[in-house]
Structure 1
Amino acid sequence: MVTNTTLRGTPVVPGLVVGPAVLVRADIDPAAVASYDATALDEGAALTAYDEAVEAVAHGYEQRSATTSGAAAEVLTASAGLARDRGLRSAVRKHLRAGEDLLGALSGAIDQFVGIFTEMGGLMAERASDLRDIERRTLAHLVGAPEPGVARPSVPSVLVAQDLAPADAAGLDPTVVLALVTERGGPTSHTAIIARQLAIPCVVGVAGALAVPEGGDLLVDGTTGGVEVAPDPAEAQERVLADRARREQVAAWSGPGATADGVPVKLVANVADTESAATAGAEPVEGVGLFRTELCFLNRADEPGVEEQAAIYAEVLRPFTGQVVVVRTLDAGSDKPVAFATQVGEENPALGVRGLRLSFDNPALLVRQLDAIRLAADRTGAEVQVMAPMVATVAEAAGFAGLVRERGLRAGVMIEVPAAALLAHRMLEVVDFLSIGTNDLTQYTMAADRMATDLAHLTDPWQPAVLQLIAITAHAGRQAGKPVGVCGEAAADPLLACALVGMGITSLSMAPAAVRAVGARLAGVSAETCEEVAEAVLGATDPAAARAAALLVVERRG
């Protein structure tokens, strides 16, 4: 058992809290499993029992999805679809025909798919945790035990887990969950993304977290990544009160985004559907920096027509009449398969046909989407701009920009591939703006799966190589006099935001819940201080040193 020490992990959501540890374990009553006689079922009865169990699991996901929005709803909807996956059912049937009982067939099928997803690497490996959650919940229904998951704490507490299943992370109640601490996961995992949406302080990749004493106090620092076990009560309370005062300042911030000396920084929202758009519209944002269109169609077997697409997009655009909305064309593929667009059976989908590459063999798919976006813009009065994901060459950027401009819209591309960052100045010769997707840019730059806990230090957007590529891209924007934004999860980090602005980034797009924290931090520093922060982090040798250097400059100059 760990006591009287400070554990370290990767900070995800800033904030400093103290509270009792609640250890989350995903166990099912072993007595219920042992008493279940799976051998009594023939193949037909076993498949019927399986179908009923997974349908109950999928329905549970959908019920949770209906009570939330944004990233949480997306995760739950995707999990419901995965639970009902026909390929998974076929694998269960195959194991049954090989002579295994139902519980063995379930375990074997899940192991098979986890192995496939893990071998694919990249974003697909993240789905392995979804599969394990589906396995546990299905097993519980089969044996008549309660579904595993996070119980609502009786008092405000710090949740400590190996990792949180997507359904559990999406269902967290921020009124009783003070902070999240996980042993696994990285800064762009499902847990991290949902923690940002809920504004719950979060530290991931904390080795030894489950060895802390149950019910003992933890002081969690979501800015530095420290998790102090059994802190001094008086000192901890003093630090928490100081942080609470800072949070009150954050809550009072009402925009618009600017540094202390008045240099404007556009703060905009990431949205995916009408619910997240409505949430964003209630926050002090200046528009949308990333509308993830593919998330509207994850459960569609057939491509909707132009008119239907236009109606869907218009509902998302409507709260932003007169404001800029950057619409991303389908980023389907890899971890976001869309039945009517993506290829099946790719050996490495994270490096395969995804994003703009879908249009190489199916150009009409992109043409129809652009026509629908134009119609939605006309109907809502939003100032729509369009960008393409997974652009790797200047020729790709130029071809896309031509199609967009034919429809009277401004064209941009995402910088997610290191090749695109290195050629940012050339990209800006053919497009109107750039937007840096730091999640994929980090993964591809560091050649590290973002869900590999052992590599969480590599998938940190504070990595020097990633910061250098961002700086190169921002410098190209300054030279060309064109805007360069960041729309990845890095934009939601208030301290990193100072460095990004110092490099020349002109807009930051993030989960709506993060906007006030970023805006308040920028309002407390000058543009000159931001440039000094940028210089300090670009000279750092690792993420921890970069954070420390940035914090030192901000505290000294702020």
Structure 2
Amino acid sequence: MTAHATAAPDSGTVLVGTPVVAGVAYAPVMWPGARPALPGPGTPPADVEAECARFVAAASAVADRLRSRASAATGVASEVLSATAALAEDRGWIGAAQKEIRGGAPAPNAAVAATEQFVTLFTKLGGLMAERVTDLQDVRDRVLAELAGEPEPGIARPDHPVVLCADDLAPADTSGLDPAVVTALVTRLGGPTSHTAIIARQLGIPCVVAVTGLDDVPAGAPVLVDGATGAVTVGPDEETAAAAVQDARAVAAEIARWSGPGRTADGHDVAILANVQDGASARAATDHPVTGVGLFRTELAFLDRASEPTVDEQTTLYREVIEAFADTPDPAKIVIRTLDAGSDKPLAFVDAGVEANPALGVRGLRVATAHPALLEHQLDAIATAAVQAGATPWVMAPMVATAAEARAFAAQVRDRGLVAGVMIEVPSAALLAPAILAEVDFVSIGTNDLTQYTMAADRMSADLATLTDPWQPAVLTLIERVAAAGAAAGKPVGVCGEAAADPLLACVLVGMGVTSLSSAPAAAAAVGAALGRVTLAACRAAADAVLATADPADARAAATAALQS
């Protein structure tokens, strides 16, 4: 952890970062406690195999605790905790540590050395793999604590409201935060699609990332955080801060009263949907004002498996999600994404080989090219679940780049009596939207990857956080192109990336012609309330204003001005 008290900013200093979750918070700063000290030179173990076993036992204990937290969590928090637990038991990492032990290193030193090897590898690969650096270092620290017989590192539970500031936060830390006490998250690193940002959206607390100068703010300093603009004011005027918080509470009260359905002030319908990953998260989503599922991430059922789940096992999983919305007044829209594995989500039972750049490699639908039975089994299970539940889910494939891929996938989906679609995440798919829409029944835009690939910028890089902002006009231009193609074809165009959780951007997307918005369920009310305050004409004016800009900050300002006028 960085030292945070050398040259505190003057009162009234405004630090600027990338806004992630809108909202206002005013509270003293809290920094996480120090992580375990890395070990110095150690004595070679007397019994090498016993030391290897000690390391494996520690890693297994950490994985078990993370998996237990994943079971108690929902949504994205559960997904990232499960993925982090898998890191603690990764065969490559454990094998590297055992090699160090057999070379004479004690278990703690071996844990550090093995982690350094993989951090170097992940950093070099960049893209989605670079996201795992913070996660792996967190696993290392937890294993070190386990080996030393010390409590797990983590964030202290404050007894008063705080703004949590950090260089970066691991999933195991952010997933357990109490939003009643931790009123905002501010980080020096990370990007708008980092784990910290995604979980902050799920918790519904203001979040700003990639804040320059944050490490100079001392613990206890009062700060005013504006998650809509990315401004972090150190030592603000108390009356001004109190007024800002009061205004934010009034907005929050209005949001809390919103119960749907998604509709602009002049009656234009917009489906407000939830991102889920299993039956439990789908059932939890029904507590929020959503009318269905816009993104069912099916890969979680595969990630911690040594072998492919059977068709029957998958059928049970898919049916649980479909039936979670069985009691809605109208037939619920359920959109299921086929396996989005590969890259940072490898499957233990699929040998993908070693890729020089996994983020641009065999992931998503591309896995089915080498392993067609995986997709066939998954589609068979979805079709069976649909019959059992008496519903017709929509099914879409990730990482589609050509019209030919869309055509082949759609044929397999329609052969099973399901509605066929694809995700638009690759710039080529956005540019070819008319041709792709001619092959499928709908598309859904995954703004996280579309932004990363359009801007050629690692979405985890703090240095590139401005480039990975979904408000980048280049990205919005591609989204508008896809939405226009959907309107011309008379087919739905959804957004299921994190951009759909931004109330202001949601209005712009609707103005472009997007017909549904799917995000973390906690974000649904804010998005729906924002749409209910504006007309479709105002949304279209905001979209036009944004497309005339060339900078994310200017785009936000243009949208705000258009909607207010």
TM-score between the two structures when normalised by the length of structure 2: 0.95
Aligned counterparts of 1:199 and 1:112: Cα–Cα separation in 2: 36
Q: What is the Cα deviation at residue 29 of structure 1?
A: 5.6
Question: What amino acid does structure 2 have at the position aligned with 1:456?
Answer: A
1:356 aligned residue: 365
1:456 equivalent to 2:465? Answer yes
Alpha-carbon spacing, 1:545–1:358, altered in 2? closer, same or farther (3 Å)? same
Q: What is the Cα deviation at residue 277 of structure 1?
A: 0.2
1:521 aligned residue: 530
1:511 aligned residue: 520
Q: State whether residues 320 and 382 of structure 1, in contact with CA within 8 Å, keep that contact through their aligned partners in structure 2.
A: no
2:83 to 74, 78, 81: 78
Aligned counterparts of 1:96 and 1:372: Cα–Cα separation in 2: 45
2:343 aligned residue: 334
Query: What count of residue pairs does the alignment treat as equivalent?
Result: 553
2:387 aligned residue: 378
Aligned counterparts of 1:506 and 1:497: Cα–Cα separation in 2: 11
Aligned counterparts of 1:484 and 1:116: Cα–Cα separation in 2: 37
2:19 to 11, 16, 38: 11
1:199 equivalent to 2:204? Answer yes
Give SS of 1:260's match.
Answer: coil
Residues 88-487 of structure 1 mapped to structure 2, 5 A cutoff: 88-321=93-326, 322-341=331-350, 343-487=352-496
Aligned counterparts of 1:63 and 1:341: Cα–Cα separation in 2: 26
2:3 aligned residue: none
Which stretches in structure 1 are left out of the alignment for 5+ residues? none
Give SS of 1:344's match.
Answer: coil
Identity within the alignment, %: 58
Q: State whether residues 295 and 496 of structure 2, in contact with CA within 8 Å, keep that contact through their aligned partners in structure 1.
A: yes
Q: What is the Cα deviation at residue 342 of structure 1?
A: 5.7
Give SS of 2:494's match.
Answer: strand
Give SS of 1:325's match.
Answer: strand
Aligned counterparts of 2:81 and 2:254: Cα–Cα separation in 1: 33
Question: What amino acid does structure 1 have at the position aligned with 2:20?
Answer: V
Question: What amino acid does structure 1 have at the position aligned with 2:561?
Answer: L
Give SS of 1:355's match.
Answer: coil
The 10-residue stretch of structure 1 (252-261 or 351-360) with the greater mean CA deviation from structure 2: 351-360
Aligned counterparts of 2:191 and 2:400: Cα–Cα separation in 1: 25
Alpha-carbon spacing, 1:471–1:175, altered in 2? closer, same or farther (3 Å)? same
Aligned counterparts of 2:459 and 2:42: Cα–Cα separation in 1: 40
2:5 aligned residue: none
2:54 to 38, 49, 58: 49
Give SS of 1:338's match.
Answer: coil
Question: What amino acid does structure 1 have at the position aligned with 2:64?
Answer: H
Aligned counterparts of 2:37 and 2:443: Cα–Cα separation in 1: 52
Aligned counterparts of 1:168 and 1:67: Cα–Cα separation in 2: 14
The 10-residue stretch of structure 1 (143-152 or 319-328) with the greater mean CA deviation from structure 2: 143-152
The 10-residue stretch of structure 1 (375-384 or 122-131) with the greater mean CA deviation from structure 2: 375-384
Q: What is the Cα deviation at residue 25 of structure 1?
A: 4.1
Q: State whether residues 333 and 354 of structure 1, in contact with CA within 8 Å, keep that contact through their aligned partners in structure 2.
A: yes
Alpha-carbon spacing, 1:553–1:164, altered in 2? closer, same or farther (3 Å)? same
CA offsets per residue over residues 251-272 of structure 1, 9 Å max, x none? 1001000110000011111110
Q: What is the Cα deviation at residue 74 of structure 1?
A: 1.2
TM-score between the two structures when normalised by the length of structure 1: 0.97
Give SS of 1:383's match.
Answer: coil
1:488 equivalent to 2:462? Answer no
Q: State whether residues 260 and 522 of structure 1, in contact with CA within 8 Å, keep that contact through their aligned partners in structure 2.
A: yes
Question: What amino acid does structure 2 have at the position aligned with 1:13?
Answer: V
CA offsets per residue over residues 531-554 of structure 1, 9 Å max, x none? 111011111111111111111222
Q: What is the Cα deviation at residue 54 of structure 1?
A: 1.2
Alpha-carbon spacing, 1:529–1:342, altered in 2? closer, same or farther (3 Å)? farther
Aligned counterparts of 2:78 and 2:406: Cα–Cα separation in 1: 32
The 10-residue stretch of structure 1 (288-297 or 516-525) with the greater mean CA deviation from structure 2: 288-297
Q: What is the Cα deviation at residue 304 of structure 1?
A: 1.8
1:552 aligned residue: 561
Q: What is the Cα deviation at residue 38 of structure 1?
A: 4.7
Aligned counterparts of 2:274 and 2:191: Cα–Cα separation in 1: 22
Question: What amino acid does structure 2 have at the position aligned with 1:14?
Answer: A
Question: What amino acid does structure 2 have at the position aligned with 1:467?
Answer: L
Q: State whether residues 180 and 203 of structure 1, in contact with CA within 8 Å, keep that contact through their aligned partners in structure 2.
A: yes
Alpha-carbon spacing, 1:28–1:59, altered in 2? closer, same or farther (3 Å)? same
Q: State whether residues 3 and 213 of structure 1, in contact with CA within 8 Å, keep that contact through their aligned partners in structure 2.
A: no
Q: State whether residues 44 and 104 of structure 2, in contact with CA within 8 Å, keep that contact through their aligned partners in structure 1.
A: no
Q: What is the Cα deviation at residue 388 of structure 1?
A: 0.6
Give SS of 1:152's match.
Answer: coil
Aligned counterparts of 1:256 and 1:46: Cα–Cα separation in 2: 59
2:4 aligned residue: none
Which stretches in structure 2 are left out of the alignment for 5+ residues? 1-7
Aligned counterparts of 2:169 and 2:43: Cα–Cα separation in 1: 29
Question: What amino acid does structure 2 have at the position aligned with 1:463?
Answer: Q
Q: State whether residues 14 and 201 of structure 1, in contact with CA within 8 Å, keep that contact through their aligned partners in structure 2.
A: yes
Q: State whether residues 22 and 228 of structure 2, in contact with CA within 8 Å, keep that contact through their aligned partners in structure 1.
A: yes
Question: What amino acid does structure 2 have at the position aligned with 1:427?
Answer: I
1:28 to 32, 36, 59: 36
Aligned counterparts of 2:405 and 2:564: Cα–Cα separation in 1: 43
Aligned counterparts of 2:315 and 2:68: Cα–Cα separation in 1: 27
Q: What is the Cα deviation at residue 104 of structure 1?
A: 2.6
CA offsets per residue over residues 172-192 of structure 1, 9 Å max, x none? 111111000000000110111
Give SS of 2:229's match.
Answer: coil
Question: What amino acid does structure 1 have at the position aligned with 2:512?
Answer: M
Aligned counterparts of 2:74 and 2:179: Cα–Cα separation in 1: 15
Q: What is the Cα deviation at residue 23 of structure 1?
A: 1.3
Aligned counterparts of 2:457 and 2:478: Cα–Cα separation in 1: 16
Question: What amino acid does structure 1 have at the position aligned with 2:261?
Answer: P
Q: What is the Cα deviation at residue 41 of structure 1?
A: 4.3
Give SS of 1:28's match.
Answer: coil
Alpha-carbon spacing, 1:41–1:458, altered in 2? closer, same or farther (3 Å)? farther
CA offsets per residue over residues 382-422 of structure 1, 9 Å max, x none? 33011111001101101111111111111111000000000
